[in-house]
Amino acid sequence: MRADVEALDLRDVAANWVNAAALHHQVSERIKALADLADTPLFFGRLDYLHAPGAEAAEGAEGERFYIGRRHVHDADGDPMVIDWRAPVSQPFYQASKTAPMDIALRRRFGYTGGELTAYEDERLSDPSEAEQTSKLLQSEIERPRVGPMRDIVATIQPEQDEIVRQGIGGTICVQGAPGTGKTAVGLHRVAYLLYAHRERLARSGTLVIGPNRSFLHYIEQVLPALGELQVAQATVEDLVTRPALGAEARGTDSADAARIKGDARLAEVLRRALRSYVTAPTEPCVVVRGSRRWRVPAYELEEMVEELLTRDIRYGAAREALPQRIAHAVLVRMEQAGEAPDDRVQDAVARNAAVKAAVKAVWPPVDPAKLVLRLLSDADFLAEHAEGVLDADEQKTVLWAKPGRGVKSAKWSPADLVLIDEAADLIERTPSLGHVVLDEAQDLSPMQYRAVGRRCSTGSATVLGDIAQGTTPWATASWEEALTHLGKDGAAIEELTQGFRVPREVIAYASRLLPAIAPGLSEATSIREAAGDFSVRAVDPAELDAAVIAACQDALTHEGSVGLIAADARVPALAEALDAAGLTHLSPARRPAPRPGSRSSRRPWPRVWSTTTWCWTNRPRWSTASRTNAPGCAACMSP
């Protein structure tokens, strides 16, 4: 299929150079989508239908066989050889069971090792004499240690995950998932499914995956390309709100209290008040000179226009653009009363008149969002005026800068400040909306960050992923209902995944003891993975701690997989020195690994050092540096 695309002769097939460039780009993207992946097989399953899908069941009617894979594959004649996993005919591969066979006679799973077919396993779903069995291939795939970036789970999607993946684009879905339940993979596969089912719509409006940090995005970056989807943008929340053109980039930090208050949704009202304060009541009439005639719009009439626009509560910039048209209309009314017959061109000309522009500038001046936030955080009186009744005196004092910046570019903006600037910018001019947004690790976002993300999907839908029990920030919201309200998606469906696939049963049971205290509304998670003896809690004398840590790392390195070492910030340098002294190569979250020598089977995992500031409720790192050769995860749960 790729060779056919590469052989296309694009000469003299386009009407002009613009069409030719677009066509070449489309062909180039198609070739990329058809790239070979050495370790990724084209098919992983087979379905034998009792009857042809869509045909009525009749005596003697023949069934039909389909191979299921990551993408559609056809032969030289264009006949399908492999059916895309997202197609409706593929759904029984994930949903069919002995109790609901969905007209499937046989379901076959194929097993691969290094891209080579090594096993297959059959389930005769419509045969009453065959008992239901647990798939050994599925179990071995789940148990396989993770090496490299996140892989797709298309061959192992479970029924409850498939139901979420295939939900329509019409509404927002929130997926609450315990550690290791595959919520991130479900969200990514949902994007792939929506691009399959609504390709033209999303091609126009765009899709975006938002992650908590760059390490996370590196970790997941190959999932969608492996499924043939190359047009999905990825960003962090900080990426979305950074505005280099204004000079607003994060170069500073906030205290926990300041960040919590700046992330509070109440700041949206403070910003709205501050912005509206720039609008002043007109004190002078507007006099428009056209030819030998002078047309006068009195101050009281201008004031009525301003009040009407303020009452409508439309965006600052839109109202500022509407005001000159209102003034021009008032002038045209006077022209008609005087016997003239002006048209739309005259109204546009009046709206561009110097006197009208001057009147609008005096009453409704342009406002720079970064300068507005700079003034709020630097001017105590300005903040007190517009935060009255919203923030108390202590809160106002907390968010004020001790050393105000002289200007936008010299100010040491914090990540929370950038979110405020983004809010102010949206109050001035509407933020463009995408067709679909996936928001992962959403439990750590502040209400203002939710609002920033919600603006990017105000007319589209979203898939929100996270675990309320893993919230680690002082500004984290207490419930998904509250988070969805800030996101602008009230009433969105909330789905809960409670069956883990990567976290050993012993680990998740130990961690679940915290649920009554930190998230009493959540169901206790379970896991199908057993790792008896792999989980232990040991007390060590402080003087022997470094040696015990090195011994634990050396022991963990005898097993296949990735190793994560979690430590307090202050301990990281000492532990890194101890690892170096023991000859254990390691990586910090800020570094990406170099390729390791040797074959796949001879590779040994590398330990890593994390900070306790990234702990989650299973005592594992939230996210680590991701790479193509070493998957992040801890020795206990092997989860990202």
Is 291 marked within a binding site? no
DSSP string across 551-586: HHHHHHTTSSS---EEE-GGGHHHHHHHHHHTT---
Structure token pair of residue 151:
């892989």
Counted residue by residue, the chain has a size of: 640
Residue 76's alpha-carbon distances to 71, 215, 507, in angstroms, are: 16, 41, 51
Determine the Cα–Cα distance for residues 176 and 261; give it in Å rounded to an integer.
26
Burial class (CB in 10 A: 0-12, 13-18, 19+), 563: buried
Is 183 marked within a binding site? yes
Sheet holding 436-439, edge to edge: 233-236, 207-211, 436-439, 461-466, 173-177, 493-497
Determine the Cα–Cα distance for residues 387 and 392; give it in Å rounded to an integer.
8
Determine the Cα–Cα distance for residues 453 and 471; give it in Å rounded to an integer.
18
Question: Which amino acid makes up residue 80?
Answer: P
Mapping DSSP onto H, E and C, the string for 250-302 reads ECCCCCHHHHHHHCCCHHHHHHHHHHHCCCCCCCCCEEEEECCEEEEECHHHH
Question: Nearest Cα to 436, choosing from 171, 249, 89?
Answer: 171
Name residues whose C-beta falls within 8 Å of residue 564's C-beta, 6 or more positions apart in sequence. Answer: 607, 608, 610, 620, 621, 624, 632, 633, 634, 635
Structure token pair of residue 16:
């002009």
**What are the backbone angles phi and psi of residue 116, rounded to the nearest 5°?**
-105, 135
Enumerate the β-bridge partners of residue 290: 293
Name residues whose C-beta falls within 8 Å of residue 606's C-beta, 6 or more positions apart in sequence. Answer: 562, 563, 585, 586, 587, 593, 596, 630
Determine the Cα–Cα distance for residues 89 and 51; give it in Å rounded to an integer.
12
Determine the Cα–Cα distance for residues 114 and 472; give it in Å rounded to an integer.
38
Is 184 marked within a binding site? yes
* Sign, CA torsion 378/381/384/387: negative
Name residues whose C-beta falls within 8 Å of residue 3's C-beta, 6 or more positions apart in sequence. Answer: none
Is 178 marked within a binding site? yes
Q: Where are the beta strands (DSSP E) in 333-398?
A: none
443 in Cβ contact with 466 (< 8 Å): yes
Question: Nearest Cα to 225, choosing from 31, 461, 435, 82?
Answer: 31
Determine the Cα–Cα distance for residues 327 and 354; give it in Å rounded to an integer.
12
Crossing angle for the helix pair 266-276 and 447-455, to the nearest 10 degrees: 60
3-state secondary structure of 82: strand
633 in Cβ contact with 620 (< 8 Å): yes
DSSP string across 105-132: EEEEEEEEETTEEEEEEEE-TT-TTSPP
Structure token pair of residue 490:
């009230």
Binding-site residues for ATP sit at 177-184
Q: Which residues are annotated as a binding site?
A: 177-184
